[in-house]
Chains A and B, each alone.
Chain A
């Protein structure tokens, strides 16, 4: 299956969001792929609020089954969450469980005025009522495949299909 160019999708996503953002809007990328996309969007949109990043491992609903991932990244929210519009950014949207975990985590920092979701690819298969406001690409994938965002040594983003 031919996959779209991830860099072009980042640019398209930024264009879709450009006119809709409040000047105080903050982007929060989800580790690891979501942070890469958020970095692209933050630069393209010239936002003044510094970029945030979160690792949702502490909030996952499958912790009891799969334990802690050994390579945890610290969450970094370098702005006041209280009353601020926030856009959660992720690379691939699937079940929606990661997004739920990310929202739970954000609320432990304060009460945002609103939260939106921007994703590079929506691959279907939702298990929770989560709907992104901005999507650069829609793709129906069967459950034994995973779509993964990768970054080359020179920093170029690309999508890859792997077996789940």
Chain B
């Protein structure tokens, strides 16, 4: 079966997940993003690539950073951006996802940026568009359930490449709540596809999915051992809102064992970079001294995110 994200020419039609995308496409996205970073320094921060296109931001879950950077990216490409406030929309009145999509297609949508609590919702949309013969309308997954957050994974790869130049000799540690994290899944697929030789995951047994080692990662429950000689430390947010049952004794205890402090960071390489997808829980998964310290590249991640999202949108619009 063809990868549902690719068209018959092997070009990216939708961006739903990093899982299964060939390295060439990931590298092409990162390469395309590079010239877009320069646009932010211009007098007029606008390119005409998506002029006359309508981009619908459909956020069925809350988001500030992702929704805003998608909006900025689309606007810098001259698209018309429509943000739907789902909590007060017809979905709240009982309309199904696909009925919402049909209605927006009737309003000449060209691209959907969708975040949904249900894993697979963007895939369902893409499948529906194909069934309706609307292949020219593109879907970008901005985070679905526990499944994937591909643009976050890509902007993380862009950040790593920016600081480390090359993926081939790196040791990367992903720390924290992997159980609920769609970000971690996208990061793992991207890192392994791009040829990072050592990907580690660190966290308590209750927050590491069983059999995650089948994705090609090494599992550590001791943080200092997992951080040893790491080039890149990718922290994850403790997702309190998704916790069911007693997965953790308390945030304080989590911080004691898995919170990134300057002391624990000393186990990593002296030139290690520290990343976080945001929003940060200071004093839970990361200490303020580290979050604001010299190793942190958390704010550059946000800036690069705009260029990466511009690259994805213009690549999709060009197919």
Where the two chains meet, the residues of A that have a C-beta atom closer than 8 Å to any C-beta of B are 55, 58-59, 63-64, 66-68, 70-76, 81, 104, 107-110
* Contacting pair A59 B35 (CB below 8 A): no
* Contacting pair A70 B318 (CB below 8 A): no
Option from A67, A75, A108, A110 in Cβ contact (under 8 Å) with B318: A67
Contacts of B44 in A (CB 8 A): 107-109
4 closest cross-chain pairs (CB), A and B: A67-B318, A108-B44, A74-B35, A58-B47
Residue among B31, B46, B48, B317 facing the most chain A CB atoms (10 A cut-off): B48
* Contacting pair B43 A67 (CB below 8 A): no
* Contacting pair B48 A66 (CB below 8 A): no
Known contacts A68-B315, A108-B42, A59 near B28 by CB under 8 Å: no
* Contacting pair B48 A58 (CB below 8 A): yes
Contacts of B11 in A (CB 8 A): 67
In whole angstroms, what is the CA distance A67 to B313 when docked? 11
Where the two chains meet, the residues of B that have a C-beta atom closer than 8 Å to any C-beta of A are 11, 28, 31-32, 34-35, 37-38, 42-44, 46-49, 314-315, 317-319
Residue among A66, A76, A81, A108 facing the most chain B CB atoms (10 A cut-off): A108
Contacts of A104 in B (CB 8 A): 48
Contacts of B35 in A (CB 8 A): 55, 58, 72-75
Contacts of A55 in B (CB 8 A): 35
* Contacting pair A70 B32 (CB below 8 A): yes
* Contacting pair B49 A108 (CB below 8 A): no
In whole angstroms, what is the CA distance A67 to B311 when docked? 12
Contacts of A108 in B (CB 8 A): 42-44, 46-47
* Contacting pair A74 B46 (CB below 8 A): no
Option from B28, B38, B318, B319 in Cβ contact (under 8 Å) with A74: B38
In whole angstroms, what is the CA distance A76 to B318 when docked? 24
- Minimum CB–CB distance from B161 to chain A (whole Å) comes to 15
A-B contact pairs, 28 of them (CB 8 A): A55-B35, A58-B47, A58-B48, A58-B49, A63-B317, A64-B317, A67-B318, A68-B32, A68-B314, A68-B318, A70-B31, A71-B31, A72-B34, A72-B35, A73-B35, A74-B35, A74-B37, A74-B38, A75-B35, A75-B38, A76-B38, A104-B48, A108-B42, A108-B43, A108-B46, A108-B47, A109-B44, A110-B43
Which residue of chain B is the closest to A77 with respect to CB atoms?
B42
In whole angstroms, what is the CA distance A158 to B38 when docked? 31
Which residue of chain B is the closest to A111 with respect to CB atoms?
B43
Contacts of A68 in B (CB 8 A): 32, 49, 314-315, 318
* Contacting pair B318 A63 (CB below 8 A): yes
- Minimum CB–CB distance from A78 to chain B (whole Å) comes to 11
Contacts of A75 in B (CB 8 A): 35, 38
- Minimum CB–CB distance from B49 to chain A (whole Å) comes to 6
Option from B31, B47, B315 in Cβ contact (under 8 Å) with A67: B315
In whole angstroms, what is the CA distance A10 to B32 when docked? 32
In whole angstroms, what is the CA distance A73 to B37 when docked? 12
Which residue of chain A is the closest to B50 with respect to CB atoms?
A63
- Minimum CB–CB distance from A33 to chain B (whole Å) comes to 18
Which residue of chain A is the closest to B27 with respect to CB atoms?
A70
* Contacting pair A67 B28 (CB below 8 A): no
* Contacting pair A72 B32 (CB below 8 A): yes
Known contacts A71-B31, A72-B35, A74-B34, A66 near B47 by CB under 8 Å: no
In whole angstroms, what is the CA distance A104 to B49 when docked? 12
Contacts of A107 in B (CB 8 A): 44
In whole angstroms, what is the CA distance A110 to B42 when docked? 9
- Minimum CB–CB distance from A150 to chain B (whole Å) comes to 23
Contacts of B43 in A (CB 8 A): 81, 108-110
* Contacting pair B48 A59 (CB below 8 A): yes
- Minimum CB–CB distance from A50 to chain B (whole Å) comes to 16
Residue among B31, B34, B43, B317 facing the most chain A CB atoms (10 A cut-off): B43
